[in-house]
Amino acid sequence: MTSHDPIADLLTRIRNASRAQHRYTDVQWSNLNQNIIQVLIDEKFVDHFLVKEEDGKTTMRIFLRYTENREPLIRNLRKISNPGRRKYVGYNQIPDVFSGMGISVVSTSKGVLAGSEARKRKLGGELLCYVW
C-alpha cells in the first residue's frame, strides 16, 4: 500500500523496527528518504543503508544501531511538518531537541541537514522531524 506521506511512513517503520529490536527495516526509496537517512547516519543514529531494486521497485534497507545491551539508540521520532501543514523555520528558530541529546532534521536550500548544521550555515527551511 502506498503512503501519501512518505516521510511519515519512513519514520513509522524505523520507530517500529527499533522498538521491536530488529536489525534492519525496509522502506520505499526516494531521494528525500535517502537524504534523511544520511543525516541519521552522520549523527550516529543509524548504522548504514543499502539500496536494492526488485521487480521494478526500489527499496532501501536501513540497518539500525543499538548499544551493547541491545538498547536502541533511537528512542523516538516525531514528525513535525505534514503535507497539509508545512512548518518552516529560520536558522535562529531551529530548536534543540532534548538539550542536544537528539536532533532536528531540516530540509534547506542546500539539502537535508541536521538542525545544528543548518544553524552553523545560517540556513532555515522546512522542519521535517525530531529524532532522539
**Could you report the per-residue pLDDT of 88-107, keeping only the tens digit for each?**
999 999 999 998 899 999 99
Is 39 inside a domain boundary? yes
Q: Would you say residue 2 has pLDDT above 80? A: no
Residue ranges making up the domain that contains 115 = 6-131
Cβ atoms of residues 33 and 10 within 8 Å: yes
Is 89 inside a domain boundary? yes
Is 34 inside a domain boundary? yes
pTM of the model: 0.94
pLDDT tens per residue across span 70-80: 999 999 999 99
pLDDT tens per residue across span 16-61: 999 999 999 999 999 999 999 999 999 999 999 999 999 999 999 9
Is 1 inside a domain boundary? no
Is 78 inside a domain boundary? yes
What's the total number of domains in the chain?
A: 1
Q: 83: which 3 cell numbers? A: 503535507
> How far is CA 130 from its chain centroid?
8
Is 54 inside a domain boundary? yes
